[in-house]
Structure 1
Amino acid sequence: MNQQHQEDLAHIRSMMERSSRCISLSGLSGVFAGLSALIGGLYVFQLFKANGIEYFGGQQIYVPASLVSQLFVTGVIILICAFVFGLLFTIRKSKKYDLPIWTSATKKMLFNLTIPLLAGGIFCLALLYHQIYGFVAPATLIFYGLALINAEKYTFSDIKYLGFCELVLGFISLFYIGYGLVFWIIGFGILHILYGLIMFKKYK
């Protein structure tokens, strides 16, 4: 009887976990989002080189308006790729383990994730408008970190550790403005891949 009670409690606990948290997120989505960021970052380095900009030359970089638009488009493409990969792997995991995708927990997670991201997006657009390009990379890391921390209570709690890492990396990059792209690649590329692999191994 005692064993039956323990099994019932475990089942109830599992049901409560499913109803209160979005647990259909896949670690592979983080891996492929990170790979997208790495590829995008390397492409940006090539853009700098093609425009005669020596990124590690130790001098202040002048970014022409035509290049800014290319960088913006590249960023949007990376964002779309990360979103598509996240959606595909989440659907794949939900079908494999018979998990619901669109639940009240999912809605709350997206809401809490979107608010800091939207605020950060508007802030970055203002930086671009005023041609303050050096703070764009740190701002994206900082607001993204805040978004992950804010959404943690509605998904895997592990995501807050990635959020704090992004936040700290963003703060550090504020003092190394000329190397924003390097910090951006580390934050959105390498950290995403490491986090995705850890999550995949832990929750596969």
Structure 2
Amino acid sequence: MNPNDLTKEIQQIRSLMERSSKFISISGLSSVLIGTYALIGAGIAYVLVYGFDSEFSYRDHYITDNGLLLKLFLVALLVLIVSLATGIIMAKRKAKKLKQPIWNATSKSLLYAVSIPLITGGILAMIFISKEYYILIASTLLVFYGLALCAGSVFTFPEIRWLGIFEIILGLLALQFPGYGLWFWVAGFGFLHIIYGIIVHNKYGS
């Protein structure tokens, strides 16, 4: 057998093994859109809390109105729903293009891996809200989201692990600098997602 042919066969076998063990239908462009949604949501949240007269500095307003808290929750929920819908739709399109089923053993393992940290972080955030520990919410969500990404990175692109690590770092920094949670939120859920999406799109063409 020609050495070149043998090399090609080995590469094809390796590619098939990676496809079977990795969920590669995640779209880089969807991450860019999700990051953009997060920036828009953060902008709306900023206006709701601080108005247009506050300077970009340490918080000078505090959430004491239940009506305002409900509005912030609805903004966050809307961003989450739109983000999930965008991710699912674009993942289905990419899976169809790659002729790969979107719901298989690998995607199930990925969902299981990320669900435990995400659910735990969400419950912890709700407890903090009930206790009015609002200053801890941004850091909590960033840290547990980062943990979820690190756990799920085993089943998909390795770049997701680095995204998770940076999310965790931002979450810990948010604890160190209370009062700037919104800005760490913008950096983590907004800009990091956009940067990650661009990298994945350029590297994998997704």
| Structure 2 length-normalised TM | 0.94
Residue of structure 2 in register with 1:54 after alignment: 54
How many pairs are equivalent? 203
**Contact preservation (8 Å) 1:55, 1:61:** no
* Structure 1 residues 13 and 59: CA distance shift in structure 2, 3 A: closer
Q: How does 1:115-194 map to 2 (within 5 A)?
A: 115-194=116-195
In structure 1, how many angstroms separate the alpha carbons of the residues matched to 2:139 and 2:130? 16
**Contact preservation (8 Å) 1:23, 1:155:** yes
In structure 2, how many angstroms separate the alpha carbons of the residues matched to 1:125 and 1:53? 30
Aligned residue for 2:179, secondary structure, equals helix
Displacement of 1:185 in angstroms is 0.8
In structure 1, how many angstroms separate the alpha carbons of the residues matched to 2:89 and 2:190? 19
Displacement of 1:132 in angstroms is 0.4
Q: How does 1:40-119 map to 2 (within 5 A)?
A: 40-50=41-51, 54=54, 56=56, 58=58, 61-63=61-63, 64-119=65-120
In structure 1, how many angstroms separate the alpha carbons of the residues matched to 2:17 and 2:56? 52
Residue of structure 2 in register with 1:195 after alignment: 196
One-letter amino acid matched to 1:185: V
* Structure 1 residues 58 and 201: CA distance shift in structure 2, 3 A: closer
- Deviation digits for residues 40-91 of structure 1 (CA, Å, limit 9, x no counterpart): 00111111244x8836464553212211111111111111111111111111
Displacement of 1:29 in angstroms is 1.1
- Deviation digits for residues 115-150 of structure 1 (CA, Å, limit 9, x no counterpart): 000000000000000010000000010000000001
Displacement of 1:97 in angstroms is 2.4
Residue of structure 2 in register with 1:38 after alignment: 39
What is the root-mean-square deviation in Å for CA atoms of aligned residues? 1.5
In structure 2, how many angstroms separate the alpha carbons of the residues matched to 1:58 and 1:96? 47
Unpaired stretches in structure 1, ≥5 consecutive residues:
none
Aligned residue for 2:182, secondary structure, equals helix
Unpaired stretches in structure 2, ≥5 consecutive residues:
none
| Structure 1 length-normalised TM | 0.94
